[in-house]
Structure 1
Amino acid sequence: MTFPADPQAIDLMIAFPFKKAEIYAFLRAQAKDDETIAGQGDLAMPAGYMFNDVGDDAGDDEDVIETCIAAMDTVGVASGLFNVSEQSIEAKRRHPERIHFSLEVDPNDIGGAVHAIRAAHADYDLKAVTSFPAGCDPQVPISDRRYYPIYQTCVDLDIPICLTAGVPGPRVPGDCQHVRHFDQVCFDFPDLKIVMRHGAEPDEALAVKLMLKYPGLHYCTSAFSPKYYPQAIIDYANTRGTDKIMYAGYYPMGLSLDQIFAALPDVPFRDKVWEPFLHGNARRVFKL
């Protein structure tokens, strides 16, 4: 259970510091409760009520690329998965070994999403597609037909898709992200690599059952402090799921890298789990 002195982690959910009220405007537009709509303080991040401190916004003149790289250096994050943007493209130019690209898509625009994936893969060596079903407007269930051309595109390009699973933190409905949806998708797309994000709670035991069932289904620990990793996930990683569970953080959305890596050594992973969890599985699944 010894945490490595040099973790060389690959962070599968990381971003550069930003202004939360601007980034999360799309979720406030869907909200019905007054706190989320107002978006003040920690609720500028719509799931901020779940965290002790969502952190400060980026400063007006801050070089957020270097802020992020310095935070990664402090704790031993070797590289991370960043959404394609002008900012991340510039970061890749400055730090080519530290930046891997993903692309966030909304399947309400099926053709546009497929075109964007193919273009980003050709232009930027895209490593993954990501999507937030409960954040789409309107919401799109994971097993909905609108996702299917996106799934097939990921199969064609041999890249994973990362999908938010379980009850969403923001105050929007979450049935579209219920873990049961993965059963149908994994059946219909046996060659698709899927990585569940954001916990799969309260159905993490079902997530484990489905990972045992389907070789292409995986899990990452995004949006969770290590002290709250679900016990079912820890047990699975320690036994039959060592090659299925991957590290992901939540910087700067709701957790600092310092917070995460201060708590990681207390996770009761067996020694055999740390290397695949921190970077080995990510290198294999995302071809990094």
Structure 2
Amino acid sequence: MAMPTDIRVIDCMLGIPEAEDRSAWFEFFRPLLKDAQSVEQFKMPAQYMFKDIPQTGKTDDFVAWTVDQMDRFNIEKALVGWNGNATSLRAKERYPDRFFFDMPVDPNGGMAEVRRIKQAHAEHGIKAISVFPAGTLPQVAINHKYMFPLYACAVELDIPILLNVGIPGPRIPMETQRVEHLDEVCWFFPDLKVVMRHGAEPWEALAVKLMLKWPNLYYSTSAFAPKHYPKAIIDYANTRGADKVIYAGYFPMGLSLDRIFGDMPNVPFKDEVWPKFLRDNALKVFGLEK
């Protein structure tokens, strides 16, 4: 049950900073924040949940800095957000074998957003799209009609969609991210690959039930230190869900790689689960084997 040290890890949530101050990452949903502490004091909106948020320091090349951090922990590839800016383009051009990309999208954008997805897929080969339902403005639920064009587009392009599920860390309403909303989506889009992000708590047991029910539904461990992986998810991976649980970190948004991989050997996965969790499931779900 010990964590192997020879697996070339695929991290399915990692960020490339553009500056020492990373507050710009959270600007898109700042209008939703209403409490003074979140608005005036926090550097990241869920700061009350994280201690020792990683510091990047000063560098002239954050892309190379990120690759150096990956090399320290045997991370072969990382899924990072694509926004078409200079940092994304530089990462793609300089390190095509180290990064693959999901594009954060807004269901409020309608067909203009669908066209933007198709353009990014054609020109840059994005491997997924992602939505933070509670962070949309106005908020859009997982099973809302505005989401359906995005789901149809992902099916057409044969790429997964990553969805934040469970109570959001930032102090914003949770209703849009209730796990039961996934049931309708997986039923109506049987060919859509859906990857849950950010824990699904407090409905992690329901998340397991839905993964048992729907073959197209997966779970990633993003934003959770391994010490806090939900027991229901560990038990599921060790029994019927070895092919459904995918490693994702949260560096440098809220967790350091030292913290993640310092905790990781204590996760009680069975021997046969580790290669799938750290690598093989990501290869399959994101089409990296191609």
- TM-score band w.r.t. shorter chain: over 0.9
Q: Within 5 A, what are the aligned runs for 1:208-247?
A: 208-247=208-247
Bigger drift between 62-71 and 85-94 goes to 85-94
Aligned residues: 284
Offset of 1:7 from its aligned partner?
2.6
Offset of 1:57 from its aligned partner?
5.2
Q: Secondary structure at the match of 1:129?
A: strand
Deviations 1:84-105 (A, max 9, x none): 2331221121111101011000
Offset of 1:68 from its aligned partner?
0.6
Q: Secondary structure at the match of 2:210?
A: helix
CA distance in structure 2 between the partners assigned to 1:252 and 1:116 by the alignment: 27
CA distance in structure 2 between the partners assigned to 1:214 and 1:128 by the alignment: 19
Match among 56, 64, 67 for residue 66 of structure 1:
64
Give the structure 1 partner of residue 30 of structure 2.
28
Conservation of the 8 A alpha-carbon contact between 2:168 and 2:174: yes
Bigger drift between 222-231 and 2-11 goes to 2-11
Structure 2: runs of 5 or more not aligned: none
Bigger drift between 4-13 and 163-172 goes to 4-13
Give the structure 2 partner of residue 182 of structure 1.
182
CA distance in structure 2 between the partners assigned to 1:58 and 1:113 by the alignment: 35
CA distance in structure 1 between the partners assigned to 2:56 and 2:77 by the alignment: 22
Give the structure 2 partner of residue 283 of structure 1.
283
Give the superposed CA RMSD.
Answer: 1.1
Conservation of the 8 A alpha-carbon contact between 2:110 and 2:149: yes
Q: Within 5 A, what are the aligned runs for 1:169-208?
A: 169-208=169-208
Deviations 1:64-83 (A, max 9, x none): 11111011000111001111
CA distance in structure 2 between the partners assigned to 1:218 and 1:90 by the alignment: 30
Offset of 1:111 from its aligned partner?
1.2
CA distance in structure 1 between the partners assigned to 2:8 and 2:56 by the alignment: 27
Counterpart amino acid of residue 32 in structure 1: K
Deviations 1:149-182 (A, max 9, x none): 1000000111000000000000000110000000
Conservation of the 8 A alpha-carbon contact between 1:166 and 1:179: yes
Conservation of the 8 A alpha-carbon contact between 1:195 and 1:218: yes
Give the structure 1 partner of residue 141 of structure 2.
141
Q: Secondary structure at the match of 2:101?
A: strand
CA distance in structure 1 between the partners assigned to 2:144 and 2:186 by the alignment: 13
Deviations 1:96-136 (A, max 9, x none): 11010110001001112101110111011111001100000
CA distance in structure 1 between the partners assigned to 2:39 and 2:60 by the alignment: 27
Counterpart amino acid of residue 142 in structure 1: I
Offset of 1:28 from its aligned partner?
2.6
CA distance in structure 2 between the partners assigned to 1:286 and 1:264 by the alignment: 23
Q: Does structure 1 residue 55 correspond to structure 2 residue 79?
A: no
Deviations 1:227-273 (A, max 9, x none): 00000000000000000000000001000111101111100000010
Q: Percent identity?
A: 50
Offset of 1:58 from its aligned partner?
5.2
CA distance in structure 1 between the partners assigned to 2:89 and 2:6 by the alignment: 27
Counterpart amino acid of residue 174 in structure 1: M
Q: Does structure 1 residue 260 correspond to structure 2 residue 260?
A: yes
Conservation of the 8 A alpha-carbon contact between 2:54 and 2:251: no
Q: Secondary structure at the match of 1:192?
A: coil
CA distance in structure 2 between the partners assigned to 1:232 and 1:70 by the alignment: 34
Match among 26, 31, 37 for residue 39 of structure 2:
37
CA distance in structure 2 between the partners assigned to 1:91 and 1:6 by the alignment: 25
TM-score by length of 2: 0.95
Conservation of the 8 A alpha-carbon contact between 2:10 and 2:78: yes
Q: Secondary structure at the match of 2:276?
A: helix
Structure 1: runs of 5 or more not aligned: none
Q: Within 5 A, what are the aligned runs for 1:77-226?
A: 77-84=75-82, 85=84, 86-226=86-226
Offset of 1:283 from its aligned partner?
0.2
Counterpart amino acid of residue 73 in structure 1: D
